[in-house]
Amino acid sequence: MKKPKKKKKTSKKRRSATGFLPLKKQKSKYVMLNVLPDDLWLKLRKGTTIWEALQKTDVELESDCGGLGKCGKCKIRVISSVRPPVAEEKELLDPEELRNGVRLACRVKIRKDLVIHTGESDDDSTFYQILKTGHRPTVDIDPLINKRPVELSPESGHDGLSDLDRVKAAMGPEYSDLKASLHCLRFLPEMMKKTENHGTAVLHENYLMAWQNREQARRVFGLVFDLGTSTLVGKLVNLLNGSEVATISRLNSQSKYGSNVISRLQYIKENRNGLFTLTDLLVKDLNSIIQRLLEVEGLSPEDIFIAVAAGNTTMQHIFLNLDPLGIAGAPFSPVLTDGLILSAKDAGLRLHPEARLYVMPTKSGYIGGDMISTILASSAAEQDDKIILGLDLGTNGEIFLGNRQKLLTCSAAAGPALEGAQISQGMIASSGAIESVRFNEGELHYQTIGNILPKGICGSGLVDLVAVLLHCGIIDSQGLILPPGKNADDYLSSRVIKKSEVQAFLVASKEESSGNKPIYLTQKDVRELQLAKGAVAAGIQTLMDKMGIEIQDLDQICLAGALGNFVNPFSAMRIGLLPKVDPDKIKSLGNAASKGAVMVLLSRPHWQKANELSKSIEHVELSSHLDFNQYFIENLNFPQENLW
C-alpha cells in the first residue's frame, strides 16, 4: 500500500510518543493458513513459508527455481495483512502487482493467521473478512449422536423375534426400551441382511436412527452453523476426536433485503411473503455450505445425522420460519426462547432423512443463541472466583458479566458505526477496507484487507484511526477534530482540512485511494463512533453496578465476533470502548458463536448447560435503568489521558 507523503519537518517539537499502538504478542507456536478459492485450512508452525506449506497439498504453484526466490513465478495474492515486500519481490514483481497484494509464496513467512488466494484472480474480486476460527475450551467428548458396532446372534436362534428386538438383545439390557422411527424400520430388514449380522447402530438418545455396515462405525461427523446477520459459517466436525475437519463461509443472501435485523424485520412486516422469502434464502445458503463441506471429506448428505445452529434471536426465528415481529418492538417478545430439537428435514436441510437439528436456546429478543454459545466458549459459567466480562460488538452490543454464581446480560443499541455503516466512507470488512491504522516514525500507516488501495474504512480501522488521532492531539476528548496547529503533530495537522464548514481528516488522498477518490474521517463520523462506544460503555457500567463491582475487579475481558477479533485492544481502551485494564486480561474468543455450538455438538452436558444458562441468566433491560442514560452521556466523551 502507498503511504501518505511525509511533510518536511519543522522545528516544532514533536511528542515523544509516536502514536503507534502496540499489538498483543501472540503466544501460540502455530498459525492457520486459509487458501482460497478452495477454502483449504492448514495448521502450520510459525515461520513456515507459504511455499513450504503448499508443497504438502494438492495446490500447484508454478516455479522454476524450487522456492529460492530467483524466478518470480510462485505468485499468490495475500488477502490479510502482511509485512512489506522483501527485496526479491520488489525486483521480480511489478509495482501494480505489489499494489494489488501479489507476493511470492517462497518469500512470505507465515507469522500470524493468513488468508491467500492462489491461481488466476480477477483484480476486482471482493474478499470478505469473515471470522471462522477462535478459542474453544477442551470438552469431554459425549456427542449428541453416536455409532455403536453390534454383533447380532444368528436369526435361527431367536424363534421369531422382531428385527428391532434382535438389535435390543444384542445391545444389552440398558437398551430394552430402544425405539426406532418408521423410516428406520422400513430399511432395517434389508440393511440387516446386507451387513450379515455385523452392523453399526446409529443412536440418538433412545432412538435407533439407522443401521449401517461395520465400516461406517468410524465415520461419525456432525455440522455446526453460525447464522450471522451478514455472514454464515458452517463447520464439519469429527465426533470421535472433536476436530474441526472443514470450515466454509459465505455472505448471507438475505443482505439484499437489509444489512441488519431491523431492516429485515421491516421487510417481513411490509411484505406478505417476506418471512418465507428470507427463510428460503437462508436455507438455500446453508444447503450450499453443506454441499461444499461434505465434498472435503467425500461424504454424502446421508452420512450426516446431526447439526447444531446458533444465531441471534431474529436469525433463529427466520431460519425456523417463526414470526419474528414480536422482537421488533416493546416488550421485544420472541415466539420461543427454549432450545429446540427437530428434524433437520423439517427445517429444509438436505441431510439424512432422520438427521436431528439442535437450535440453541436464547434469553430474550436481543440475547440470542449466539450469545449463549459465546458464554459457553468463554467458560465464564465454570468460574467460581474470576469475574468475566464478555462482549460481542455489532449493531447491538451484546454484553455479559459474571461467573458461575451470577451471570448478567444486556444489549446496548450501539448502532452500525462499529461495522462501518453510517460512516461517510465506511464499509464492511471486505477487500479495500482500511482495517488498521498506525502512526510511526512520523508517518501514517494503514493496512487494507486484500492489500490493495483503500476504498473505505471498516469498524476496526475506524477505532484505530480515532485512537491514533486522540493520542496525537488531532481529536480532543470531546470528539472535536481540531484546526491545524495547536499542540498536535505537524504532519497530521497538515491533513486536517475544512469540509462543509467543519474540520475533517484526510486519511488517504485520491492518488492513494481506489477509484481516484479521497478518503476522509469527518466530524459526523467521529460523533457516530462516540454514540456507539458510549452505549457499549454505559451498558458495561450498568452491569458492573448491578454486580456491585469496579473495573479493577474484572479478571478477564472476552471479545467475540469479527470486530472483537480484529480490533486492537489498546485502541478500544484509548477511545473508551473497553474499560482500561491490564492488556493481558483481554482475550479474543474469535468466532465464539460457532465454538460454543461445536461444544454442544460434542458434549450432551453442554446442551443441557446451554438450556440452564438461558433460564438462570439475569437479563438487564437497559431502557428501564435511569442510570444507563446518565452513563451514556458521561461516556460520549473520549478519555483525556493516553495509555502510556
In this predicted model, what pLDDT tens digit does every residue of 189-240 receive, in sequence order?
A: 999 999 988 899 999 999 999 999 998 998 999 999 999 888 899 999 999 9
Confidence band, pLDDT 50/70/90 cuts, at residue 158? low
| pLDDT value of residue 157 | 56
Q: In what side-by-side order are the strands of the sheet with 388-392?
A: 586-590, 556-560, 388-392, 396-402, 407-413, 618-619
Please state the rounded mean pLDDT for residues 620-629.
89
Predicted confidence (pLDDT) at residue 314 exceeds the cutoff of 60:
yes
If DSSP codes are grouped into helix, strand and coil, which group holds residue 224? strand
Confidence band, pLDDT 50/70/90 cuts, at residue 594? very high
Fold matches, 30-117 and 146-218 = yes
Please state the rounded mean pLDDT for residues 607-625.
93
At residue 85, what are phi and psi to the nearest 5 degrees?
Answer: -65, 145
Q: Which of 220-224, 330-334, 518-522 has the lowest mean pLDDT?
A: 330-334
pTM: 0.79
Is residue 450 within 8 Å of residue 79, measured between CB atoms? yes
Q: How many beta carbons lie within 10 A of that of residue 629, not counting itself?
A: 13
Nearest in space to 536 (alpha carbons), one of 407, 640, 425, 389: 389
CATH top class, domain 30-117: alpha beta
- What's the full length of the chain, in residues? 644
Annotation: CATH topology of 146-218: Ubiquitin-like (UB roll) (3.10.20)
Please state the rounded mean pLDDT for residues 246-265.
86
Confidence band, pLDDT 50/70/90 cuts, at residue 62? confident
If one looks up domain 221-359 in CATH, what number appears? 3.30.420.480
Confidence band, pLDDT 50/70/90 cuts, at residue 5? very low
Strand residues in 89-176 grouped as ranges (E) = 102-104, 114-117, 146-151
Confidence band, pLDDT 50/70/90 cuts, at residue 530? very high
Please state the rounded mean pLDDT for residues 150-163.
77
| pLDDT value of residue 11 | 39
Predicted confidence (pLDDT) at residue 17 exceeds the cutoff of 60:
no
Nearest in space to 504 (alpha carbons), one of 489, 530, 483: 483
Helix (H) or strand (E) segment spanning residue 165: helix 163-171
- Pairing assessment for the beta strands 231-238 and 340-343 based on DSSP bridges: unpaired
Query: Quick one: DSSP state of residue 112?
Result: S
| pLDDT value of residue 571 | 94
Is residue 132 within 8 Å of residue 233, measured between CB atoms? yes
| pLDDT value of residue 127 | 47
Q: In the beta sheet, which residues pair with residue 251?
A: 231
Q: Which of 63-67, 254-258, 269-273, 276-280 has the lowest mean pLDDT?
A: 63-67
Predicted confidence (pLDDT) at residue 32 exceeds the cutoff of 80:
yes
| pLDDT value of residue 45 | 87
Predicted confidence (pLDDT) at residue 622 exceeds the cutoff of 60:
yes
- Find how far residue 455's CA is from the centre of its chain: 23
Q: Which of 124-128, 226-230, 405-409, 473-477 has the lowest mean pLDDT?
A: 124-128
In this predicted model, what pLDDT tens digit does every residue of 64-77 receive, in sequence order?
A: 677 888 888 898 98
| pLDDT value of residue 27 | 53
| pLDDT value of residue 488 | 66
| pLDDT value of residue 71 | 83
| pLDDT value of residue 135 | 53
Q: How big, in percent rounded to 5, are the helix, strand and coil portions of the chain?
A: 35, 25, 40
Confidence band, pLDDT 50/70/90 cuts, at residue 523? very high
d(CA 372, CA 560) in angstroms, rounded, equals 12
d(CA 343, CA 277) in angstroms, rounded, equals 21
If DSSP codes are grouped into helix, strand and coil, which group holds residue 181? coil
Distances (CA, A) of 383 to 363, 379, 409: 20, 7, 16
Confidence band, pLDDT 50/70/90 cuts, at residue 56? confident
Predicted confidence (pLDDT) at residue 132 exceeds the cutoff of 70:
no
> How much of the chain exceeds pLDDT 70, in percent?
90
DSSP string, 458-504: -HHHHHHHHHHHHHTTSB-TT-PBPPS-TTS-HHHHTTEEEETTEEE
d(CA 475, CA 640) in angstroms, rounded, equals 10
Is residue 621 within 8 Å of residue 333, measured between CB atoms? no
Report the chain's terminal Cα–Cα distance, integer Å. 29
* Averaged pLDDT of the chain: 86
Q: Which residue has the higher pLDDT, 278 or 15?
A: 278
Predicted confidence (pLDDT) at residue 505 exceeds the cutoff of 50:
yes
User: Domain segments of the chain: what residues?
Assistant: 30-117, 146-218, 221-359, 380-644
| pLDDT value of residue 486 | 62
Predicted confidence (pLDDT) at residue 621 exceeds the cutoff of 50:
yes
Predicted confidence (pLDDT) at residue 147 exceeds the cutoff of 90:
yes
Predicted confidence (pLDDT) at residue 389 exceeds the cutoff of 50:
yes
Predicted confidence (pLDDT) at residue 136 exceeds the cutoff of 80:
no
Confidence band, pLDDT 50/70/90 cuts, at residue 452? confident
In this predicted model, what pLDDT tens digit does every residue of 72-123 receive, in sequence order?
A: 889 898 887 778 889 999 888 888 888 778 899 999 999 888 888 886 544 4
Q: Which residue has the higher pLDDT, 322 or 159?
A: 322
| pLDDT value of residue 15 | 41
Please state the rounded mean pLDDT for residues 143-163.
83
In this predicted model, what pLDDT tens digit does every residue of 543-573 receive, in sequence order?
A: 999 999 999 999 999 998 777 778 899 999 9
| pLDDT value of residue 421 | 72
